[in-house]
Chains A and B, each alone.
Chain A
Amino acid sequence: MAIEIKVPALGESVTEATVGQWFKQPGDAVAADEPLVELETDKVTIEVPAPSAGVLTDIVVPQGGTVAVGAVLGAIDGAGAQAGAAPKAAAAPAAPASPQAQKPEAQPAAAPPAAKPAERAAPAAEPTLAGDGAMPATPAARKIMAEQGLTPAEVPGSGRRGQILKEDATAALARRDAGPAAATAAGSYLPANVPVPGQALRAPTGPNDAAREERLRMTRLRQTIARRLKEAQHTAAMLTTFNDVDMSAIMKLRSDYKELFEKRYHVKLGFMAFFVKACVQALKEVPAVNAEIDGEDVIYKNYYHIGVAVGTERGLVVPVLREADRLSFAEIEQAIGDFGRRAREGKLGIEEMQGGTFTISNGGVYGSLLSTPILNAPQSGILGMHRIEDRAVVRNGQIVARPIMNLALSYDHRLVDGREAVTFLVRVKEFLEDPQRLVLEL
């Protein structure tokens, strides 16, 4: 009764993955949902759990192989488990012994449960973590898992009745952090204020200074942000173009209709809805900014999912306003307010942060004058908003004070030409300076 281990759906726009480390070897007993093998994609690294309890009989694709969604990675003999954890007979180099070899011993499926065997290779047949009466992870392991975002499925438990012990959590963490290649020193989880051994690259500071330093481990979110930002810089040919926008018209529009709008829609009319609308319109006119590179192809997207960067105590997250071209001003304001609230509570779902085609980042709320935002890969454009301040400008030959905001557009020059980037930003400026054009889509 061989059960195939298949590549699961990997999430939006991911069709391929590289096989990472196999945690089990042919002949090993596995429990249901125990992680078997790691798959790396451009977005995430996931672990493929065992579809059922049994014995791993075959590895079809070894580490380093490339697989598509649905491809067969290996096989499990599901009946092996009841027969009491197949002995590591298959540990010989010729690992993938034919599955049939183990079938005979799997036959007595109705055999009475072996009465408390004194010793056993692995607690395979016992429920590990699924179902109700299962043992929870130990208190220390629970804390590590909560802090590091590990799910029980990612951490094989080695305690009595499959309980996840502290050492299991630290081992799972080390495995995840190290990746398949670099096996760093074991036990890489340490309390936040203890230096991590093996990271000796940093030059020592003087004793006076050292006492006044504080070493905190980066949260998982912060590590992901760091890695993704750096990836974007490595991959894209990124540069930034600037412009400024006179906010007078929008500010007047807002003050004219603020109360009516709030009364009608129970949400404040902010600036963001205007920027989202302006960007969507400009993206329609300059499609390259809404496109992405996939290998040797460019994918133009005729839909407009706008990411809105939200700063939280733990770091930056970018929830996505889906189908932003079809949303009303009120719907946009409501959605952004809701994102902000839930982002601060850490309650945004991963799917809500995926699939954006363009991003808006508002550094203005923190008072930024000018900045060069980094792309949210694989997107090709990101708009940076800045603070609004009254500046002396010339209108009709007169020097007058006007509320001005600087705009920045960072773009991937590999597929967006300078002309397109500048045109995009000019169009955004025009829409904002004369919001009537937004209505007329001019």
Chain B
Amino acid sequence: MAGSYDLLVIGTGPGGYVCAIRAAQLGLKVAVIEKRATHGGTCLNIGCIPSKALLHASERYEEARHHLAGMGIEVAPKLNLAGMLAFKDQGVKGNVDGVAFLLKKNKIDVFHGLGTLVAPGRIKVARDGAGPEQLEARHIVIATGSDVARLPGIEIDEESVVSSTGALALPRVPKRLLIIGAGVIGLELGSVWRRLGSEVLTVEYLDRILPGTDAEVARGLQRLLMKQGMSFKLSSKVTQIAKNGAQQKVTIEPAAGGAPIGVEADVVLVAVGRVPYTDGLGLEAVGVQLDNKKRIIVDAHYQTNVPGLYAIGDVIAGPMLAHKAEEEGIAVAETLAGQAGHVNYDAIPNVIYTFPEVATVGKSEEELKAANVAYKIGKYPFTANARAKVNKTTEGFVKILADAASDRILGVHIMAAAASEMIAEATAIMEFGGSAEDLARTCHPHPTLTEAVKEAALAVDKRAIHA
């Protein structure tokens, strides 16, 4: 029997389920369609959440091996990889079950199966082990997220040549791990396996790691990662992977062309980014317009060229981040309920969970230069921060970029042990249009790493106290 709704959301990743819940809060009759058995999309199942579990666990392992002794704790840790993967799986289960609970609590109907648009406002859900379901809705939101980007000529078998999905579940620690792509996924998963014992080589096409991130921060992080034992081959490309028994023979060429070299690896991780996921959605059937990167084109209210059909998150333009998708989901739900829905793309933070972590919000120095904006810089190293000193986590710095004339904060870049938690205050103050002085005049607790943020804000005006 056909169900009829105010809102149907395809995909229950962070964008989709948040959109559904907000719409239900506002009184709409909502249903979601999910092709996985569990909710949460890439983020919760095979992305942010499991990788954070492994990053956390592997960091504890490395700490036990190398740092605890310095604090007077003598241990002899032994890695149980199966146990660590189980720890990760428990974390994932806790989170996906949480989403299922929230959907139920908000009285949102759930349909499991592949949702396909058959006409504007009509969707067919192909369900496993049951007949297809026909659903109708006044509004439909596409929140199908993204998929692993592939390289031509390189087949991902998720055993010896893996994507991020396979790299989260390797049954043995590879002796040599070669990573293609020095973006966030490559650096995070490379960190995990290096801590667990792999020799890690990362090959990057560009002449720098973390394209798009502030260059000074990226350089600083690369130095630290190399100190930890990771190797990089920049301005290079992988042209071929040949199987040689259990080994992969990888051919690397300079990006600009030149003599190839051969490298052996046990496992190759392809981490060259992600692409919008729209397979089987039936976009052609209703004539949805895509851009040249196969992203769905939407207007300022996230509506596609088909009235009543919306899209949010990784399938549209903008950074592929869970929290960006969430904000868009909220904006769409509120717009549908007659409110003003808006996302401020100038204040969306971005985090890389290496050690130290890198967290940024707003513009990089390169972006400001390109836009001809006159800016001031305030920088403060953690070597001068009391809490970092006692913890012996003095690697990293805080860098604040403020408008030269108005003092308004334009970008904040933090490399620190807990940068992911520290970036929120910078985001909040930017959302409020605050100045470096506003931040400098805000009291920060002592002793914390956050004092470095305040000192960097003071440094914009060249008056840091502890420097």
Contact = CB atoms under 8 A, between A and B. Distances in A.
Most buried by A among B406, B431, B435: B406
Nearest to A131: B406
Given A135-B433, A138-B431, A192-B339, 6 more contacts: A132-B405, A135-B434, A138-B432, A139-B431, A143-B340, A143-B342
Interface in B408-433: 408, 431-433
Nearest to B334: A143
Contact of A133 (B339, B340, B344, B406): B406
A136 interface: yes
Contacts of B403: 133
Given A135-B433, A192-B26, A214-B27, A160 B438 contact: yes
Contacts of B152: none
Interface residues on B, range: 10 to 19
A413 B338 CA distance: 38
Interface string A181-220: 0000000000011000000000000000000001010010
Interface in B120-143: none
A139 B344 contact: yes
Interface in A215-244: 216, 219
A214 B28 CA distance: 10
A147 B339 contact: yes
B337 interface: yes
Contact of A146 (B342, B405, B408): B342
Interface of B: 26-27, 337-340, 342, 344, 403, 405-408, 431-435, 438
A135 B342 contact: no
A386 to B, nearest CB: 26
A401 to B, nearest CB: 34
A314 B301 CA distance: 15
A193 B27 contact: yes
A104 B88 CA distance: 75
A133 B437 CA distance: 13
A133 B337 contact: no
B340 A132 contact: no
B27 A147 contact: no
Contacts of A170: none
Interface in A50-90: none
Given A133-B408, A193-B27, A163 B433 contact: yes
Nearest to B407: A133
Nearest to A217: B338
Nearest to A144: B340
A390 B314 CA distance: 52
A313 to B, nearest CB: 9
Cβ-closest 9 pairs across A and B: A133-B406, A146-B340, A135-B433, A136-B433, A147-B340, A214-B27, A143-B340, A139-B431, A138-B432
A132 B405 CA distance: 9
A24 interface: no
Given A143-B339, A214-B27, A132 B406 contact: yes
Contacts of B407: 133
Contacts of A132: 405-406
A138 B438 CA distance: 14
Nearest to A159: B432
A135 B432 contact: yes
A68 to B, nearest CB: 37
Interface residues on A, range: 20 to 34
Contacts, number: 44
A192 B337 contact: yes
A226 to B, nearest CB: 16
Contacts of B342: 142-143, 146
Nearest to A136: B433
A106 B403 CA distance: 33
A9 to B, nearest CB: 30
Contacts of A135: 408, 432-435
B190 to A, nearest CB: 37
A99 B27 CA distance: 57
Contacts of A214: 27
Given A133-B405, A135-B432, A135-B433, A193 B340 contact: no
Contacts of B339: 143, 147, 192
B433 A193 contact: no
Interface in A107-123: none
Nearest to B347: A139
A133 B404 CA distance: 10
Contacts of A146: 340, 342
A378 to B, nearest CB: 30
A316 to B, nearest CB: 16
A216 B338 contact: yes
B390 to A, nearest CB: 34
Interface string A292-324: 000000000000000000000010000000000
Contact of B432 (A147, A163, A193, A216): A163
A160 B337 CA distance: 33
Nearest to A127: B406
Contacts of B338: 192, 216, 219, 314
A128 to B, nearest CB: 13
Contacts of A163: 432-433
B341 to A, nearest CB: 9
Most buried by A among B337, B403, B433, B434: B433
A146 B331 CA distance: 13
Contacts of B408: 133, 135
A139 B340 contact: no
A349 B337 CA distance: 24
Contacts of A142: 342
Nearest to B341: A143
B149 to A, nearest CB: 34
Nearest to B405: A133
Nearest to B26: A193
A314 B407 CA distance: 40
Contacts of A219: 338
Nearest to A143: B340
